Amino acid sequence: MQTLKKRSRFVFVAIMIFSLIAMYGYVPMVEAANLTSVSDLISDSDLGSVSVTHTITFTTGATLSQDQYMQVIIPSDFSTVATTSVTCADSASTTAYVFGGGAQDWDVRCIADEAIATGSKTIVIAGTENPSTQGAYSIGVNTKTSGDVVIEDATTKVYILSSVSVSATVNAILSFSIATTTPDDSLNGHSFTGTSSPTSIAFGEIDDSQAYLMGHVLSVSTNANDGYKVTIEQDQDLQTAAGATIDPYSTSSPSAWDAPTGDYTDETTWGHWGVTSDDTDDFTADTYQGLDGTTPLTVMEHNGPANGATVGVGTTTVAYELQISALQQAGDYQNTITYICTPTF
């Protein structure tokens, strides 16, 4: 009896196969459709890179019902794929699961909690680690029934390779120049009283009838990232061979100019000289400061590259004002000042 049933089933199957061939001329096969626009954009393709994000995009043509799912297969060569690192397409209507690991490929699933419409989908998988071997790696993307039957599928690839090191060297640039001023020039509304040279400030013969003003135009060109400073130092106060001095103006901070009072009991009131600059980082308008012989005085600065032309950035006028009273001792007064330009690369 059992043998008869088996034969009957065989005959029925044979009749069905014969009928299909008679209808179609062949036995029709059920095949999954293809997903379209499939890609995997990775945040870093370097060998062994960690914390890499895969952004998988694709377009479905079939609606998913509850418990059907979208699936991404990532080769086991990639590591540290975790459920908590997966952001599903239609995340409000799907739940993420990750299977595999070790020698098994990673099986990332976004299971539908309700019907999912067709269209463009994106699944983001963060925190993975790239393989240490260069080459192309296949990424499988599918939709499946709850019984794991493929509805639509496709394969895309990513290529892992050594990163390219890019290097370049920009040579350091610094140019510092000193230009002259003439009586046709002015600073703080005051005209210069003589013509300077890049290497000297020659006030000439002076008296107590006026204040004398001479100076330089300083220019700096540099590609220093943190800019530069120009300071002034002096080797001594203006002094004669006999030891008489013209004292520096107030050395504490820049202040408005006051003529020497000429108090015969106080030698420091007989004459003085000071420095000013139109660099507003260091001086307010029409203020002056003396050189104390020990501390460099900043007269020009900028916090980035300078072109040597823009006032307050690459060029500044520095002036020296000198004024005496009738009590200032006679003699030839001299000292040496030094400009120091210091860039910070």
pLDDT of residue 165: 86
* Least confident window among 101-105, 119-123, 153-157: 101-105
Is the pLDDT reported for residue 10 higher than 90?
no
Q: Which amino acid is at 136?
A: A
CA 247 to chain centre: 49
What secondary structure does DSSP assign to 247-266, as a single string?
EES--SS-EE-------TT-
pLDDT of residue 294: 87
pLDDT tens-digit readout, 284-323: 999 999 998 889 999 999 999 999 999 999 999 999 999 9
SS3 content of the chain, % helix, strand, coil (to 5): 10, 45, 45
Is the pLDDT reported for residue 138 higher than 60?
yes
Q: Which residues contact 243 (CB under 8 A, 6 or more apart)?
A: none
CA atoms within 13 A on the CB side of 174: 15
pLDDT of residue 102: 86
Q: What percent of the chain has pLDDT over 90?
A: 86
Mean pLDDT, range 207-227, rounded to an integer: 97
Tokens representing 113? 């909690």
pLDDT tens-digit readout, 35-86: 999 999 999 999 999 999 999 999 999 999 999 999 999 999 999 999 999 9
Is the pLDDT reported for residue 256 higher than 90?
yes
Mean pLDDT, range 246-252, rounded to an integer: 93
Q: How many CB atoms lie within 10 A of CB 223?
A: 15
Edge-to-edge strand ranges of the sheet holding 150-160: 33-34, 150-160, 135-144, 69-74, 104-112, 94-101
pLDDT of residue 31: 58
Distance CA 296, CA 339 (A): 9
Distance CA 316, CA 304 (A): 15
For tokens 């090191």, name the residue.
165
Q: Are strands 212-222 and 306-307 parallel, antiparallel or unpaired?
A: antiparallel
pLDDT of residue 115: 96
CA atoms within 13 A on the CB side of 237: 19
Which residue segments constitute the domains of the chain, with CATH numbers given?
32-160 (2.60.40), 174-343 (2.60.40)
pLDDT of residue 12: 40
Distance CA 249, CA 322 (A): 9
What SS3 state is found at 24?
Answer: helix
Q: Which amino acid is at 172?
A: A
Please state, rounded to an integer, the average pLDDT across all residues of the chain.
91
245 strand-pairing partners: 239
pLDDT of residue 19: 44
What SS3 state is found at 178?
Answer: strand
Stated as kind and residue range, the H or E segment containing 2 is: helix 2-24
Go through 55-77 and write b for each residue having 16 or more CB atoms within 10 A of its CB, e for each that does not. Answer: ebbbebeeebeeebbbbbbbeee
327: left (phi over 0), alpha (psi -120 to 50) or beta: alpha
Q: Are strands 245-248 and 271-277 parallel, antiparallel or unpaired?
A: parallel
- Are 70 and 121 in contact by the 8 Å Cβ rule? The answer is yes
Tokens representing 72? 């991404």
The predicted model scores a pTM of 0.64
pLDDT tens-digit readout, 150-202: 999 999 999 999 988 889 999 999 999 999 999 999 999 999 999 999 999 99
pLDDT of residue 98: 96
Tokens representing 2? 């059992």
Q: Which amino acid is at 259?
A: A
- Are 42 and 81 in contact by the 8 Å Cβ rule? The answer is no
Is the pLDDT reported for residue 9 higher than 60?
no
Q: Are strands 150-160 and 33-34 parallel, antiparallel or unpaired?
A: parallel
For tokens 């008679």, name the residue.
22
